[in-house]
Amino acid sequence: MMSKSLQVNPLDAMIASAQQGDHTVQNHLLKTYQPFIAKCVSEVCKRYIDPKRDDEFSIGLSAFNEAILAYSTERGCSFLSFASLVVKRKVIDYIRYMQKKPQAVSLDESYDTEKMENPIETIAAGKKYKQEQEAWYRRDEIMDFKEKLDTYKLTLEELTHLSPRHRDARDSAVYTARVIYENAALREYVQRKKKLPIKHLMKHVDVSKKTLERNRKFILAMFIVLSEDYVYLKDYLKGVGQ
């Protein structure tokens, strides 16, 4: 039975208690937020999820527990927003893993006598499902990215016009974003102030003040991508600015 004081604690305080080893609070969170977890998993699987029968729910529950232990208010988002991303990502990874597992399928066009399914059609349906899932996942990331941009007073639309045209300029901007992300003091400043510490940044990168100011919004956007657990958006940064 949860104590009265625990019930009235803010969610962030409960998360902190769980991270400090309070298993009572941790178990309370896992039980209380099962409907939330099931909803997140259902959104990925596009079907009703039975917590007692579906393996995907177990994956989501485990991911929610990971989110409890990994969350920090310095991420600049609420715990539930963070947990939603972690749960959905883990379920997506699980689905991908299951789809990659080898399956014994006849190469002829014969039908399964029990399921009355054409195995070739089954494979095609599986591929289509995977494509639909990944398309949904991309949209989910972009929606979250747009929300994060809004906290920095940026929009996705203006970024399409602000992106440096030349490869060298883009590399330099992404490199600058990496420097900020990897430097604890600079990272904390940007997350708190929602702007670039240009004066201090010039001590860490060989980029002029004029260039930093011109590419300020793009650098901030790339910093957001580096700071979040994005899968598809980070593909854009692979090999860039390193």
Least confident among 89-103, 131-145, 218-232: 131-145
CB distance 150 to 156 below 8 Å: no
pLDDT at residue number 43: 86
Q: How far is CA 198 from CA 49, 76, 164, 175, 226, in A?
A: 49, 21, 18, 14, 19
Tokens 């940026």: give the residue: 154
pTM above 0.75, yes or no: no
Q: Which two tokens stand for residue 207?
A: 């980029």
3-state secondary structure the chain: CCCHHHHCCCHHHHHHHHHCCCHHHHHHHHHHCHHHHHHHHHHHHCCCCCCCCCHHHHHHHHHHHHHHHHCCHHHCCCHHHHHHHHHHHHHHHHHHHHHHCCCCCCCCCCCCCCCCCCHHHHHHHHHHHHHHHHHHHHHHHHHHHHHHHHHCCCCHHHHHHHCCCCHHHHHHHHHHHHHHHHCHHHHHHHHHHCCCCHHHHCCCCCCCHHHHHHCHHHHHHHHHHHHCCCCHHHHCCCCCCC
Q: pLDDT tens digits, residue range 86-102?
A: 999 899 888 888 877 66
C-alpha–C-alpha distance, residues 194 and 148, integer Å: 11
Confidence of residue 109 (pLDDT cuts 50, 70, 90): very low
CA 81 to chain centre: 9
Q: Which two tokens stand for residue 222?
A: 């790339």
CATH node for 8-103: 1.10.1740
Residue 186 pLDDT exceeds 80: yes
pLDDT at residue number 239: 54
Q: pLDDT tens digits, residue range 36-49?
A: 999 999 888 888 88
CA 15 to chain centre: 19
Mention every residue, 6+ apart, whose C-beta is less than 8 A from residue 131: none
Residue 131 pLDDT exceeds 60: yes
Q: pLDDT tens digits, residue range 49-77?
A: 888 888 999 999 999 999 999 988 776 67
- Intervals of CATH 1.10.1740 along the chain: 8-103
